[in-house]
Structure 1
Amino acid sequence: MIRRELYMSRIRPFIGNELIKVLTGIRRSGKSVMLDLIQRELVDSGVNEEQFISINFENMSNAHLCFAEALHEEVTRRVNCIHGKAYLFFDEIQEVVGWEKCINSFRVEFNCDIYITGSNAKLLSGELATYLAGRYVEFVIYPFSFGEFSELYHTVFPDSDSREMFTQYLTDGGMPYLSNLRYAEQPSHQYLQDLYNSVVLKDIVKRNGIRDVDLLERIIAYITANVGTTFSATAISKYLKSEGRAVAPETILNYIKACEDAFLFYRVRRQDLQGKKILTVNEKYYIADHGIREAVFGGNMKDINLIFENIVFMELLRRGYKVTVGKAGEKEIDFIAEKQTQKLYVQVAYLLASEETIQREFGSYDTIRDNFPKYVVSYDEFDMSRDGLKHMNIREFLLSEQWN
């Protein structure tokens, strides 16, 4: 188990206070492990493990607690046996019917510190916003970064170098459990395929009452094949029509939103840098884990430029940046990343193999006159920085503690 300090450093200031800590993210991204890490931190600070109440609602032995009244009764009984503050850990809380009222009741009734996880963005909408408005703090837990992947991969294969690990990361992605399979190709692909099916069936189909599963899978396949490519719901509608499926763009948008709520895809808006406005058409989408794309649909090495983009985009999200795609006249900036007073621009390419490619990637910045850092990231080992524009190898970029 690695400590995932990127997340712990954000959660740590809230440990022990009255705010409810909500951990969200795609299924199997490591939310349960984060609960374990928090418990370890509490024990190290002197808290007795007997003060913990931990329930995983995907465990069948807890099926009888998946109703608010039953859960309230059980937790009340156990809290009354605890001396001092109780620490409540609820994993996949969305499985509990009426859980919002229950969690709010615990907050009011007991001297407690509450942590919950869930695999759907709707966790923080609707009733929760009413019951817990201003009383929770959310942390999105993503699959492993390349840095985290490398740390764990190195414990399995101590002699591996950075280049070898990145090659493995390109196909496997960052789902934490793969280390238990020693990154063996067939078992890893089988695990990722099963994970994908679980996300689709449990977190998208079941939770949204989707009946046309075939249509959903076609839309997912289209978006997955076109990660990092600008398109619209109308474009998907025309594509499906060519395959004999007449579907309204509104229906497609609803299905895509369900996928976003399950943290399978992330939507990226486009920003007009000259007009200084957010564009509402032709957005881009990226997949939460490119390893799932390889296992289910294949083609990562064929589409390596798009996979590089996907990896860089997810790294920017992990580090807390708000990300948009930049449009500067006829040119496009892959990513504009902003966080508080920080801002950086990132162009991503596989190889700067020709002068034409070099001119295109560096030339995207020609009309941008501000002094924020501007990067071109590629697989090239040789530093091609020029005119104040920084070039970095993608491994170096991903492993850098900070960009400036």
Structure 2
Amino acid sequence: MADHYDVLGVSREATPDEIKKAYRKLARELHPDVNPSPEAQEKFKQVTHAYDVLSDPGARRDYDRGPQPGFGQGAGGFGGFGDIFETFFGGATGAQRGPRSRAERGQDALLRVEVDLGEVVFGTHRDIEVDTAVVCETCQGSCCQPGTQPVTCDVCRGSGQIQRTVRSLLGNVVTSAPCGTCRGYGTVIPYPCNTCQGQGRVRARRTIPVDIPAGVESGLRLQLPGQGEVGPAGGPQGDVYLEIKVRHHDVFSRADDDLLCTLEVQMWDAVLGTTTTVQALDGDIELELRPGVQSGDVLTVKGRGITHLRGAGRGDLRVGVHVLTPTKLDGKQKDLIRQLAASHKGQKPSLTQFQQGLFSKLRDRFLG
């Protein structure tokens, strides 16, 4: 790699203003808009990189010092105990040695999806659209303009670390820190991709197909590995977590994998018994009511509940009976009721143990 001072045509003692003037002069001569030749473009890249290093006081100081090979070479002021402990014990966080990768894992994402209770019975499919990070199609995650590539950092010589020798109470020690020029990567990108600005990824909208299994319930989270955003420099994708919310249903409710509902029955049907067809979440069901059925009785239909999330089989459909008392009767209907009452004159209302009401009674039977 050519010496930066030679590239700019200045001495090693040049002032910041002299360095800036030299760069501006060369940039006007070598800029691709002025001189499109390949030789000029390569020279312009070297000039720009040299200026980036020498215009930064810290980077210039590291460049002038050059790589520090180890103990006892170079000199410096007294270092703090933090540097000493970092040298001997690796620092409080275990500082990384060597260049680090630009490619990093993308972040995870949490999405919420609503499903109907009917979809929970057998499961369902969703195509979920998300705004996320995807690999840049221009540079394919390299972060560089097509036809270019990262170059070795000539401050840290590709190590990603800058070593400094300092004097302490324990003698001369060497401390390491990430290179300020390449930020610890060991390479620099002279021509970042114009599409992603050197990130290797861009924001885009994409569709994630999801098969939601049967038996899910509100609050459950499904993990979709590798469906999250792409990491910097085209790094591995993170995961997506789907949090399920089951919408309220006007008729059916849920207890574990059983479905619960209430069947309203007219008084005469409860007395005489009847057969009726009702519509469940997965088709019609025929229910038979025995004569004398009471409010609070529960009819169980096996295997017509929700499919088990883990394992085979389904829960049951449990139908609670609610006998309705007629409130609007014509004269003839009232006479018939009076005749029925007269035939049962011996049966008068009597006290019994207090009950919480129909719905408490149904609840006890549902959950019992």
TM-score bracket, normalised by the shorter chain, equals under 0.3
With CA pairs under 8 Å and 6+ residues apart, which has the higher RCO, 1 or 2? Answer: 2
**Structure with larger Rg:** 2
TM-score, length of structure 2 as denominator length: 0.19
Q: TM-score, normalised by structure 1?
A: 0.18
Higher strand share: 2
* Structure with more helix by fraction: 1
